[in-house]
A and B are shown apart, each in its own frame.
Chain A
C-alpha cells in the first residue's frame, strides 16, 4: 500500500511530524513502513516563467531567443522548442551559475550553462518528461515540446513542485493479510490517529442528487447470497468524460495508479481512499435494465476489460444483466460494458463478495487484480455504501455528470457487530503488563473499539479481532512492543537434550569429519536427467519417486530417493574448478514413496513417503577403494556392527570389479566403490572417483551401543604368519573365513592381512596373500607345540575348503 501523506491529511493532521519519525512510529504500532520518498525529490530549482518576448536567433534558423520573466528576475533563454509563444507560461530550470542551489531534473539530467551559437542562455524550458511526468499525468501537455502552464494556477517565480503538486511524501507500507482495512487512506488515517493521538475526521459524503429515480433505470438481484453479501449501486447520467483535475491525477500518481479519465479515476480514487473496490458500467450496455449477481454458466465465454477471452466455470460469481455477464465479481469488468469516450450514463457498483470465492476465481483465471487481491482478504460490507456515496460526491465535485436520485442497496443479511469479552486481568497476565482497565479502554477506544462493561464491540472493518489474544495485540501494539519486559519462564522443569538417535547421528558426523571429509548440503530435488547421468538403469526402482505437481522447471520435478546424483554434481563442480583434493560427505534425507493409506488422527488422504536419512561419501583424488572402505568400517565399528562386504558386479553406477555391498546378516545397508568409468565420463572427471551411500536409519537400528568392559588378557599371545598362493579370483575374505572356521578358530584372536604379492614366479593369475594370525588362549600360555598344532589346523582347513596351500 502506497500512501500519499498529502491525501492522509484530509483525515488526520500529522504534517508537523517529521517523515522519519512518522514512519518509525507507525512501524512501532504495527503499520510497517518499507520505504518512503518525496514525489518531488528528483526535481529542484525549477520555477515558473512567463515568456515575454521571442526573437530569432541571429545565427541559427532552428533556435529562438526568449526573454523570460521569472519573478525576481528576467532570464534570456535560447530554445529549439517549437511550441513556445509570447505570453506562454512555462517551467524554467535555472542554470547553476545563477543560483547556489543545484538544479535537478528527472533522470539526473545535467544542465549546462553557456552560449548556444554565440548567444547566452541562462536556463532551459522543461518538457513533461524532464519533470518525470507522462501524458497520463498531464493529458493536455505536448509530448515533444515544452509543458505549457497557461490556464493553471501558476505565476512567474513559483516553484514548479508547488504548481504541479510534486511535493508529496509517499510512504510504502507492508500491510499484512489480516489488515485489509489498512489498504486504504482512511484505514491508515485511523492508525495514524491512534498512534499520534490526533483527531480523526472522516467526513460523511454528501451527494447532490439531480432528481429522476434510479428504479426507472435499473434493478439489482442477488441470486447467490453466499458469495455476495451486499450490492449497492448508483446511476449517473449526462456524463461528461474528461480528464480528472490535477489534484486527483497527482494523488493517483503518488499512489502508483495511472490516471485514465474522470469516471475511471473516481473508482480508483475511492478504492484507494476507502479500500472498497468499485466498478463503473456503461448503462447503455446493460440489457434489460437489470443487474443479476449469479454464478456463471459452465464454460460460458466472457471477454474481460483487458480484451482476453475467459472461459468461466459454474462456481464463479459474475455480475450479469438480463442476457449476459458484464463483469466477473470482484475480479474484472467486461469489455462489453466498458466506459468509453461516448459513455453517457454510468452505473457505479460497490459490492461485497466472499473473499475465498474471489480468490479461487482469480486464481483459476490467472488474473489477480487490485480488486481481487483486496476482496480475497475479506472486506467490510458496511463500507460499500459510504464508498459509493463518496464516488458520487466526487462526480458532483468534478462536474462529471448528474447523480440520479435514489440508491440501490441489496443487503440480505446485515453484518452483525462482533463482540469480544473484555478481560483486562487476563490480558495483563498474558502480556506481563500491569495496565489499568482505563488505560486499556483508552487504547481500544482510540482504535474505534467500543467498550461497554465486560464487552468489547469490534468495528465492522476489524474481522481480525475475535478473541482475547487479538485484543491483547491491540493493547501491546498501542502501549509499545518494547515495553514488554523480559522474564524467566516459571514452569515445571523440563528435561532438555537429544534423543539417542540424534546423538548417534551427531557422532557419525564427528567420525566422518574426523576422517577428513567436508560436509555438503545439496538440494533434495531430483530429475530424470540426473538419474540418467549417474548411469541409473531405466527400470531402477529408485526412479519411482515422489513427484511435485507445480515444479518450476525440469530440475525440481521430483524429490530424491538417493543422494548419489547430487553428490556427483558437487564433485563435478569441484573437479571443474581444479580443486586438488576433494573428500565430501552428506547426511541427508531420501524420500521413498509408500503405498496404502497410513492411518492418522485426522483421516487425511494419501500417505507420506518413507523419509530416511542416508550418508553419502565422495572421494576425488583423496584416496582409493580401501580408503573409502576404511571410513565405512570405522562407522560400523563405532555402531558395534559386524558387517560383511560382498562384491557387487551389476550396478551400472559402479565399476563392476570395484564395488561392494555392506551387509549385516541378510540386510544390505549400503554400497560403495569406484564410479564406473563410463559414468565418470558423463561428469568429465579426470581421476578415479570413489563414492558410497549408506542407510543411516538401518545402521542405527542395527547398532549396538551398549559398551561393556572386557578384562585385558592375562596370558601372552603367539603369532604365526602364513602366505598362501592362490588364484586371483579367491577373495581375501574367503581365506580369512576358512582360517576362522578351522579347529583353531577358538584361539584365533585376530587375523591381519599384511601383504598381497603378485609376480612372475607365481605365474599368471596367481597371487600370494600373507596374514599374521594372533593366537591366544584365555586360560593359559600356549606352548610352542600347541601353537604349531593350531597353525597346522588352520592350514588344513584352508587347504580342505579352498584347495590352496602356503607358499613354499
Chain B
C-alpha cells in the first residue's frame, strides 16, 4: 500500500512537470475517481492498526500534490500574463494621434504678455475707438491743426475732423476725461498710418500705450516702471537707457533702449552691434494735455509711454519681415 501511495506521488509530480492541462492532472489524481481517491477506497484491505498511518500518508500526499498543482497553476498564470503583455507591446516611436491645437497670433501673444505685466503692476486696460476725432488724436495732445509734428504721422482722414487714429494716445485723453487720478491704464490697440507695407512698415499696426497720473509722480517713477517692465519682458538681466527725444504730448520726452537680450550688450546681429535695442517712447505728461483734461498740472503729474507691438513681437520671435504677420500663412501661425 505504502509503495502504491509513493508511486502515485511520484507519478503525479512527474506528470505535473510538463503538464499543459492542469485540471486534467487534478482530476486524474485527486478527482472522485482519481488514483489517490481510489487508494483511499482500498483502505478496507489495510490492516485496521495501519489505517490511521496509511490515512495520514494519503492525506499528506494529497496536500503535496495539491500544493504542486497550485504552484504550477500560479506559474502558468504568470506565464500567460507575461505572454499577453509582451504581445501587447507598442512601438513608442510611432507618432501620436493628432488632436488639432490652435494658436493665438504672435501679436496677440505679445500683447497678452505686455498686458499681464502691467495688470500685475495695478494697471487696468482701457480701450478707445479706432475711428477717432482729430481732437483726441491730435489737438488735445498738444498737436494743433497745421502743427509740423503732424507730418511724422501720415494720417488717414475720414472727414476734416474725423480720422483713423494714428496712435493709441487718444485713449489717454479719453481716460483722463472720464476718470480722476490716481490713473494707471494701458491701452493696447490698432493704429493706422498712410505708409505702404514693406518689411518694417505697415499701414495698420498695433501699439500699447501706458498712462500714470497722480500727485507727486516723477520721472524716476517712469524709469522704475519701465525697468520692471523690461526685466519681465526681456529677462532679469535687462537694463534700460533713456535718450532725449521730443513728443508733443510729453515733456521731457525720451526714447528708451533695452540692453540686447541676445548678446547681453556685447553687440550682435539683432542689435546691429550696438548692444541696445530701441523699444519705446515715453515722457512726463505735458501740462497742456493735463489741462485739456481738466487736471491741474500744479497738483498732479504723470507719465506716459508707448510701444509698437509688432516691433516687440518681431525682435522677440526673430521675425524679420512685418508682412508675415498679416499674411497669416498657417505654417507661420502654427509656429508660435
Inter-chain contact B196/A622, CB cutoff 8 Å: no
Inter-chain contact A491/B327, CB cutoff 8 Å: no
Inter-chain contact A482/B241, CB cutoff 8 Å: yes
Inter-chain contact B326/A559, CB cutoff 8 Å: no
Inter-chain contact B245/A176, CB cutoff 8 Å: yes
Q: How far is the CB of B310 from chain A (nearest CB, A)?
A: 10
Q: Say which residue of A430, A547, A604 sits within 8 Å of B284 (CB atoms).
A: A430
Complex Cα spacing A68 to B161, Å: 72
Instruction: Tell me the dominant secondary structure on chain A's binding face.
Output: loop
Q: Say which residue of B102, B148, B177, B248 sits within 8 Å of A355 (CB atoms).
A: B148
Inter-chain contact B334/A518, CB cutoff 8 Å: yes
Inter-chain contact A493/B122, CB cutoff 8 Å: yes
Inter-chain contact B333/A605, CB cutoff 8 Å: no
**Chain A residue at minimum C-beta to C-beta distance from B105:** A519
What 0/1 readout, one digit per residue, does chain A (561-590) give for beta carbons within 8 Å of chain B? 000000000100110010101111100010
Inter-chain contact B102/A502, CB cutoff 8 Å: no
Which of B124, B177, B241 is the most central at the interface, judged by chain A CB atoms within 10 Å of its CB? B124
Q: How far is the CB of B172 from chain A (nearest CB, A)?
A: 15
User: Known contacts A487-B220, A496-B122, A523-B203; is A608 also within 8 Å of B133 by CB?
Assistant: yes
Q: Please tell me the size bucket of the interface on A.
A: 35 or more
**Stretch from A43-51, A296-304, A466-474, A773-781 contacting the other chain:** A466-474
What 0/1 readout, one digit per residue, does chain A (511-532) give for beta carbons within 8 Å of chain B? 0111111111111110000000
Q: Say which residue of A488, A509, A574, A577 sits within 8 Å of B108 (CB atoms).
A: A509
Inter-chain contact B244/A481, CB cutoff 8 Å: yes
Inter-chain contact B243/A574, CB cutoff 8 Å: no
Inter-chain contact B251/A473, CB cutoff 8 Å: yes
Complex Cα spacing A517 to B325, Å: 17
Chain B positions within 8 Å of A552 at CB level: 194, 196, 203
Inter-chain contact A469/B284, CB cutoff 8 Å: yes
Q: Does A29 reach chain B (CB closer than 8 Å)? A: yes
Inter-chain contact A549/B254, CB cutoff 8 Å: no
Chain A positions within 8 Å of B104 at CB level: 509, 513, 519
Complex Cα spacing A525 to B203, Å: 10
Q: Does A413 reach chain B (CB closer than 8 Å)? A: no
**Chain B residue at minimum C-beta to C-beta distance from A474:** B252
Q: Does B159 reach chain A (CB closer than 8 Å)? A: yes
Q: How far is the CB of A776 from chain B (nearest CB, A)?
A: 33
Q: Does A435 reach chain B (CB closer than 8 Å)? A: no
What 0/1 readout, one digit per residue, does chain A (589-603) give for beta carbons within 8 Å of chain B? 101000000001110
**Stretch from B21-29, B80-88, B113-121 contacting the other chain:** B113-121
Q: Does A186 reach chain B (CB closer than 8 Å)? A: no
Inter-chain contact A496/B102, CB cutoff 8 Å: no
Inter-chain contact B333/A520, CB cutoff 8 Å: yes
Chain B positions within 8 Å of A579 at CB level: 329-331
User: Known contacts A28-B243, A484-B220, A516-B100; is A548 also within 8 Å of B164 by CB?
Assistant: yes
Complex Cα spacing A261 to B221, Å: 56
Chain B positions within 8 Å of A27 at CB level: 243
User: Known contacts A470-B251, A606-B159; is A496 also within 8 Å of B121 by CB?
Assistant: yes
Inter-chain contact A359/B148, CB cutoff 8 Å: yes
Q: Does B35 reach chain A (CB closer than 8 Å)? A: no
What 0/1 readout, one digit per residue, does chain B (141-167) give for beta carbons within 8 Å of chain A? 000011111011000111101101000
Inter-chain contact B242/A481, CB cutoff 8 Å: yes
Complex Cα spacing A522 to B286, Å: 35
**Chain B residue at minimum C-beta to C-beta distance from A465:** B251
What 0/1 readout, one digit per residue, does chain B (179-221) give for beta carbons within 8 Å of chain A? 0001110000010101010000001100000001011111111
**Stretch from B38-46, B70-78, B222-230 contacting the other chain:** B222-230
Complex Cα spacing A517 to B334, Å: 10
User: Known contacts A178-B149, A520-B333; is A513 also within 8 Å of B161 by CB?
Assistant: no
Chain B positions within 8 Å of A522 at CB level: 326, 328
Q: How far is the CB of B186 from chain A (nearest CB, A)?
A: 9
Q: Does A103 reach chain B (CB closer than 8 Å)? A: no
User: Known contacts A516-B102, A519-B104; is A549 also within 8 Å of B219 by CB?
Assistant: no
Q: Does B101 reach chain A (CB closer than 8 Å)? A: yes
Inter-chain contact B149/A177, CB cutoff 8 Å: yes
Q: Does B135 reach chain A (CB closer than 8 Å)? A: yes
Which of B152, B203, B215 is the most central at the interface, judged by chain A CB atoms within 10 Å of its CB? B203
Inter-chain contact B328/A431, CB cutoff 8 Å: no
**Chain B residue at minimum C-beta to C-beta distance from A600:** B133
Complex Cα spacing A606 to B136, Å: 14
Q: Does B33 reach chain A (CB closer than 8 Å)? A: no
User: Known contacts A491-B215, A573-B327, A608-B133; is A556 also within 8 Å of B156 by CB?
Assistant: yes
Q: Does B61 reach chain A (CB closer than 8 Å)? A: no
Complex Cα spacing A402 to B296, Å: 59
Residues of chain B touching chain A, judged by Cβ–Cβ distance below 8 Å, are 99-105, 107-108, 118-125, 129-133, 135, 145-149, 151-152, 156-159, 161-162, 164, 177, 182-184, 190, 192, 194, 196, 203-204, 212, 214-221, 223-225, 227, 241-246, 248, 251-254, 284, 286-287, 301, 325-331, 333-334
- A selection of 26 A-B contacts at a CB cut-off of 8 Å is A373-B148, A429-B216, A432-B219, A472-B252, A477-B252, A485-B220, A486-B224, A488-B221, A489-B221, A491-B212, A495-B124, A513-B101, A513-B102, A516-B99, A520-B333, A521-B326, A523-B204, A570-B328, A574-B330, A577-B329, A582-B330, A585-B102, A600-B133, A608-B162, A611-B129, A611-B131
The 5 closest A-B pairs by CB, nearest first: A432-B220, A516-B100, A176-B246, A473-B252, A30-B244
Residues of chain A touching chain B, judged by Cβ–Cβ distance below 8 Å, are 27-30, 32, 176-179, 355-356, 359-360, 373, 376-377, 429-432, 467-470, 472-473, 476-477, 481-482, 484-499, 502, 509, 512-525, 546-552, 556, 559, 570, 573-574, 577, 579, 581-585, 589, 591, 600-602, 604-606, 608-609, 611, 622
